[in-house]
């Protein structure tokens, strides 16, 4: 496991420990006070706890070496478990929060604020704990940025770290909404404030789940490398003396720090078959040395002039001329 993964693992474990303790405290406080906003936050923390387990699985499983069944490795496991985390936020957090908010609007029970003071204390402690976990995740993200990551998203290219930051940031906002809803409920005696806070927490969780899920989906179905990395690889290929032109370049992320590269190149005239093989091997080694992320490199040697002839009106049967 790399040093970056070890730091991310510690960050996830810190978030998991905080969420487990907070989930129990929120659930007890919510049941004692009957607060829908506090119960929604308890569901939020339970969802986050499950998600941290998913992320720990992602960190462990994504680093397995390639084998015959998975020749490109298991790097996309990281994206799969992050997708499950997004689904968990949506189902366990967002849907339950909506349910609590609707039930609070429909409830005609008499209000009792006996346990609300304890509930507010629980939320205050939760705010400190979630804030501490968020600060650690943000600190790690800034440290990764300082190391010069190639990803245009900076350190947030790691879906595990990105998910922890999103969860903790959402938790801080959610706790703030719950505190405001409970306080306004106590002051005005109207449950509408707390029910609205619960619905707002639900909307927040659904939006975060959609954002995380969309990102994981893009990476699972085969997202191209970042434009900066693609431009660097294209420039390296074009600079090779034996390459006349780079006809096409295709890239796909196969993991957090691994990319599949496939290029269609036209070599300079006069190279025999044995020389072409030697040149291809040298170019692959050159690209792999300059761009460590390029885990697999495939070169398709083509004849640009022949391709142009094949696309000409005479070859395709299309009508040419003005």
CB atoms closer than 10 angstroms to residue 267: 21
Percent of the chain with pLDDT over 90: 9
Order across the sheet with 294-302: list the strands.
243-253, 259-267, 294-302
pLDDT tens by residue, 171-219: 888 888 888 888 888 888 788 888 888 888 888 888 888 888 888 888 8
Per the confidence metrics, is the pTM higher than 0.75? no
- Does the pLDDT at position 318 exceed 60? no
Integer CA distances (angstroms), 4 to 69, 143, 145, 165, 269, in order: 27, 10, 12, 16, 46
Residue in 294, 299, 221, 298 with CA at minimum distance from that of residue 258: 294
CB atoms closer than 10 angstroms to residue 119: 27
Rg over alpha carbons for the chain, rounded to the nearest Å, is 27
pLDDT tens by residue, 238-294: 999 889 899 999 999 888 778 899 999 998 888 787 888 888 899 999 999 999 888
Residues 6+ apart with CB under 8 A from 128: none
């Amino acid at each position: 496991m790399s040093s970056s993964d070890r730091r991310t693992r510690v960050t996830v474990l810190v978030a998991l420990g905080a969420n487990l303790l907070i989930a129990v405290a929120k659930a007890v406080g919510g049941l004692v006070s009957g607060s829908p906003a506090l119960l929604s936050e308890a569901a939020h923390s339970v969802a986050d706890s499950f998600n941290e387990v998913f992320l720990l699985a992602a960190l462990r499983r994504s680093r397995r070496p390639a084998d015959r069944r998975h020749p490109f490795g298991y790097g996309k496991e990281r994206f799969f478990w992050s997708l499950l985390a997004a689904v968990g936020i949506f189902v366990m957090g967002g849907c339950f929060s909506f349910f609590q908010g609707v039930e609070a609007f429909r409830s005609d029970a008499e209000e009792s604020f006996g346990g609300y003071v304890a509930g507010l204390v629980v939320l205050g402690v939760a705010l400190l704990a979630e804030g501490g976990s968020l600060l650690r995740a943000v600190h790690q993200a800034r440290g990764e940025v300082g190391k010069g990551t190639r990803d245009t998203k900076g350190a947030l290219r790691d879906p595990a770290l990105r998910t922890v930051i999103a969860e903790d940031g959402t938790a801080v906002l959610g706790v703030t909404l719950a505190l405001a809803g409970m306080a306004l409920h106590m002051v005005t005696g109207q449950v509408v404030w707390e029910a609205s806070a619960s619905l707002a927490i639900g909307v927040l969780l659904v939006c975060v789940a959609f954002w995380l899920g969309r990102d994981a989906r893009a990476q699972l179905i085969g997202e191209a490398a970042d434009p900066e990395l693609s431009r660097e690889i294209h420039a390296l290929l074009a600079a090779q003396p034996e390459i006349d032109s780079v006809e096409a370049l295709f890239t796909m992320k196969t993991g957090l720090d691994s990319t599949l590269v496939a290029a269609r190149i036209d070599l300079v005239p006069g190279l025999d078959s044995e020389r072409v093989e030697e040149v291809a091997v040298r170019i692959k080694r050159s690209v792999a040395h300059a761009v460590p992320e390029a885990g697999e490199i495939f070169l398709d040697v083509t004849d640009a002039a022949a391709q142009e002839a094949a696309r000409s009106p005479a070859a395709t049967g299309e009508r040419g001329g003005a």
